[in-house]
A and B are shown apart, each in its own frame.
Chain A
Amino acid sequence: EMVMTQSPATLSVSPGETATLSCRASQSVGSNLAWYQQKPGQAPRLLFYGASTRATGIPARFSAIGSGTEFTLTISSLQSEDFAVYYCQQYNHWPPWTFGQGTKVEIK
Chain B
Amino acid sequence: QVQLVQSGAEVKRPGASVKVSCKTSGYTFTSFGISWVRQAPGQGLEWMGWVTAYRGNTHSAQKFQGRLTMTRDISTSTAYMELRNLRSDDTAVYFCARLREIGPVTPFDYWGQGTLVTVSS
Best-buried of A32, A96, A102 by chain B (most CB within 10 Å): A96
The reply to whether the CB of A83 lies closer than 8 angstroms to some CB of chain B is no
The reply to whether the CB of A71 lies closer than 8 angstroms to some CB of chain B is no
Q: Which residues of B contact A94 (CB under 8 A)?
A: 59, 104-105
Majority-rule SS of A interface residues: loop
The reply to whether the CB of A46 lies closer than 8 angstroms to some CB of chain B is yes
Whether A44 and B111, one on each chain, are in contact in the complex, defined by CB atoms closer than 8 angstroms, is: yes
> Which residue from A44, A46, A99 sits with its C-beta under 8 Å from B100?
A46
Minimal beta-carbon separation of B109 from chain A (angstroms): 5
Known: A91-B105, A91-B106. A96 touches B47 (CB 8 A): yes
The reply to whether the CB of A61 lies closer than 8 angstroms to some CB of chain B is no
Minimal beta-carbon separation of A88 from chain B (angstroms): 10
Q: Which residues of A contact B35 (CB under 8 A)?
A: 97
Minimal beta-carbon separation of B41 from chain A (angstroms): 12
Best-buried of A43, A45, A55, A99 by chain B (most CB within 10 Å): A43
4 new A-B contacts, CB < 8 A, other than A43-B97, A95-B59, A99-B44, are A34-B108, A43-B112, A55-B109, A94-B59
